[in-house]
């Protein structure tokens, strides 16, 4: 059930089998599998997964290519709730390992928040990442286009940009190197530093050799209408026409709540085994937070793997569970 | 495009980037990703993937839980063809490694077959498995219920069988051990040997201790109507009432065409790395044929991984591909 401030006190004494942090594709898929394994599950979601912002999933098997990311999340949440899983809109602040269980501290609500603690045997970290965006004076101008033709994922949207005039918006020298795989799809590439960092001679030479243009001016705003970005206006008032953009500025990893637990990371990503178990035997990581490709269909598969391995663990301990789990 | 006997001679001189053997969930997902990477792809399908027989996918994120497997395959094939991938209904007989490319020998048509050879740089083995079914005198009687409430996948359908009277149909002592994880979902289990093999004292004792019934009579037929199996009629005319069945008789692995190539297997499954590459650098395996769980969403993710790694391989060699691939 959807938990609210009014109903969640029915659940705070319960020890869940699995608490899933994050209600994106990975967390919802895990929740569907877990409830079908008759495990008691709570998904805690802070809202607006990365895929929520995707206007069209072009590569998810079984769905028409114009399906919005939020439609997958809506269907997944309905599916999960139909299996009687618990779902709470809240923010997970801290996870404390108590040995057999975890205590999970959450903040509920924004303006007048309340605080609760849930208990669970297993934890699935499905809280994902969110892309850093260009910081312009008017951020609404960025949000108007991000997820439409101002892309954040080359693997997802390289095809959409084929033979287009594409602007790459980076945050460092390294981040601009995405231009080379983008060059598979289009030769018409302009690299924007937004005046925020220097580009060394070596990379400058490689861009020139590939025929890419380097633009080091500060950006004033994106141009366009109806969520279709058509170019960039620079601080000096000049314009650059574009058909699409690719933001390559890194990501924020939503994993602060795990700081108190010793886990293996590679960069910001959690390292897992093939069944998505982290270096902690009762913590699994799925979706964009773990090492691997950031794709919705892979996140969904991660959820299936993690849920199945947790079921195997619990089943091997308990043997059977013939009556539904009581709250 | 859908290739036919009339049109395929346009393609036999072409060297595909990737030939995918099998048009199930894994192969179609790979094909969608490959075409979006601007790689020229041919899917060869012999028809009727394992998921084709599934009347309801209950656990695929983004689709209503009553979606038939064949609807996912239909949507996936339409999606793939909309990206201008080639698709041929045929049977792959043999793959020969020519060093830089593979020659793939196919048989087209059943009654008056013709034979063709295609060439490809990479191969994706997505040909899957098919479950062995009980061999009764009237096989139509088996097909009437298989994929409805005569299940083949505990992970998929354990939930559907919760607290039901379930018959387990095995082909060996080992295959009957699926009763123990099934016992997580229901205590009402009858094990059928169909009179085909002996059960040792040790296992017999474990079944008795768990409260399971062992039935060693030959089976005459399944009972039921409208694709809902309601029990079993034994050879001696007696009946056993059931709510559902679980077939556990192993699988046929569709990989004969790879016999001439030295690959690592574990049981009948191909061993792969995390990006689904087999022990051969230009052969990938996805879906049920590889080691791992047999789930539609995992097969779809496999396709994404394999396609992406092949793109990376080719891109690192070629650097760019700015014009669409000509046939």
Burial of A208 (0-12, 13-18, 19+ CB in 10 A): exposed
SS3 B237: coil
Q: What is the pLDDT of residues B244-295, one digit of tens each?
A: 999 999 999 999 999 999 999 999 999 999 999 999 999 999 999 999 999 9
Choose one of A207, A225, A248: the last residue of a domain: A248
**What residue in B sits closest to A274 (Cα-Cα)?**
B274
Q: What pLDDT does A49 receive? A: 79
Query: What's this model's pTM, rounded to 2 decimal places?
Result: 0.96
Indicate whether A147 pLDDT > 80.
Answer: yes
**B290 inside domain:** yes
Nearest-5° Cα angle at A52, A29 to A122: 35
Q: Does A7 touch chain B (CB under 8 A)?
A: no
Indicate whether A326 pLDDT > 70.
Answer: no
Are A149 and A114 contained in the same domain?
no
Predicted complex ipTM? 0.95
Q: What are phi and psi of B174, to 5 degrees?
A: -60, -40
Residue with the bigger pLDDT between A235 and A321: it is: A235
Chain-chain contact of A274 with B292 (C-beta, under 8 angstroms): yes
Are A191 and A122 contained in the same domain?
no
Q: What is the pLDDT of residues A180-197, one digit of tens each?
A: 999 999 999 999 999 999
Q: What is the pLDDT of residues B125-183, one digit of tens each?
A: 999 999 999 999 999 999 999 999 999 999 999 999 999 999 999 999 999 999 999 99
**B325 inside domain:** no
Residues within 8 A of B (CB atoms), A 36-75 only: 36-38, 58-65, 67, 71-72, 75
Give the number of other CB atoms < 10 A from CB of residue A238. 11
Indicate whether B324 pLDDT > 50.
Answer: no
Are A145 and A209 contained in the same domain?
yes
**B326 inside domain:** no
**A324 inside domain:** no
Q: How far apart are CA A130 and CA A288, in angstroms?
A: 9
Are A175 and A202 contained in the same domain?
yes
**What residue in B sits closest to A163 (Cα-Cα)?**
B322
Which of B61, B156, B308 to mutate to test binding with chain A, by most A CBs within 10 Å of its CB?
A: B61
**A327 inside domain:** no
Chain-chain contact of B297 with A29 (C-beta, under 8 angstroms): yes
The pLDDT > 70 percentage for chain B reads 98
Are B11 and B103 contained in the same domain?
yes
**What residue in B sits closest to A35 (Cα-Cα)?**
B159
Tokens standing for residue B261: 């190539």
Chain-chain contact of A36 with B159 (C-beta, under 8 angstroms): yes
pLDDT-derived band at A52 (thresholds 50, 70, 90) equals: confident
- The overall average pLDDT reported for chain A is 94
**B27 inside domain:** yes
Q: How far apart are CA A113 and CA A121, in angstroms?
A: 26
Which of B17, B62, B85, B210 to mutate to test binding with chain A, by most A CBs within 10 Å of its CB?
A: B62
CATH number of the domain where residue A194 is located: 3.50.50.60
The number of domains in chain B is 2
Task: Count H helices and E strands in chain B, helices first.
Answer: 8, 20
**A326 inside domain:** no
Give residue for tokens 């049977």: B91
pLDDT-derived band at B322 (thresholds 50, 70, 90) equals: low
Are B243 and B167 contained in the same domain?
yes
Choose one of B248, B266, B293: the last residue of a domain: B248
- Domain residues for the domain of A293 are 2-130+251-318
- In what helix (H) or strand (E) does residue A102 lie, and over which residues does it extend? strand A102-108
Are A149 and A238 contained in the same domain?
yes
Q: Does B126 touch chain A (CB under 8 A)?
A: no
pLDDT-derived band at A322 (thresholds 50, 70, 90) equals: low
Are B104 and B10 contained in the same domain?
yes
Indicate whether B309 pLDDT > 80.
Answer: yes
Are A243 and A257 contained in the same domain?
no
Are B119 and B259 contained in the same domain?
yes
- Write the CB contacts of B5 (distance below 8 Å, at least 6 apart in sequence): B108, B109, B114
**B163 inside domain:** yes
Q: DSSP letters of A60-77?
A: -TTS-TTB-HHHHHHHHH
Alpha carbon separation from B36 to A64, A158, A201 (Å, rounded): 15, 8, 33
Are A118 and A263 contained in the same domain?
yes
Q: Does B159 touch chain A (CB under 8 A)?
A: yes
Choose one of B196, B219, B248: the last residue of a domain: B248
b/e burial code for range A251-262 (CB count within 10 A of at least 16 → b): bebbbebbeebe
Residue with the bigger pLDDT between B71 and A50: it is: B71
Are B125 and B137 contained in the same domain?
no
Q: What pLDDT does A53 receive? A: 83
């Amino acid at each position: 059930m959807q938990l609210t401030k009014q109903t969640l006190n029915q659940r705070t004494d319960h020890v869940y089998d699995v608490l899933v942090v994050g209600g994106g594709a990975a967390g919802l898929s895990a929740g569907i599998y877990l409830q079908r394994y008759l495990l008691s599950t709570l998904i805690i979601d802070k809202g607006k997964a990365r895929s929520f912002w995707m206007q069209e999933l072009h590569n998810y098997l079984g769905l028409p290519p114009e399906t919005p990311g939020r439609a997958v999340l809506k269907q997944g949440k309905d599916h999960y709730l139909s299996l009687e899983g618990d779902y709470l809109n809240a923010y997970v602040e801290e996870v404390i390992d108590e040995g057999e269980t975890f205590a999970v501290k959450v903040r509920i609500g924004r303006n007048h928040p309340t605080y609760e603690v849930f208990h669970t045997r297993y934890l699935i970290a499905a809280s994902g990442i969110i892309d850093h965006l260009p910081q312009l004076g008017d951020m609404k101008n960025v949000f108007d286009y991000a997820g439409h033709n101002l892309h954040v994922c080359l693997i997802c949207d390289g095809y959409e940009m084929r033979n287009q005039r594409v602007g790459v918006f980076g945050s460092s020298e390294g981040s601009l190197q995405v231009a080379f795989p983008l060059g598979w799809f289009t030769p018409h590439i302009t690299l924007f530093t937004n005046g925020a960092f220097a580009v060394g001679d070596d990379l400058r030479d490689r861009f020139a050799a590939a025929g890419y243009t380097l633009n080091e001016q500060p950006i004033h705003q994106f141009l366009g209408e109806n969520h279709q970005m058509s170019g960039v206006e620079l601080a000096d008032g000049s314009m650059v026409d574009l058909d699409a953009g690719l933001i390559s500025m890194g990501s924020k990893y939503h994993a602060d709540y795990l700081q108190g637990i010793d886990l293996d990371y590679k960069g910001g990503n959690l390292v897992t085994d093939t069944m998505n178990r982290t270096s902690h035997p009762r913590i699994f990581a799925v979706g964009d937070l773990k090492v691997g490709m950031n794709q919705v269909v892979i996140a969904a598969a991660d959820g299936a793997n993690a849920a199945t391995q947790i079921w195997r663990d619990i089943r091997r301990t308990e043997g059977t569970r013939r009556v539904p789990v009581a709250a």
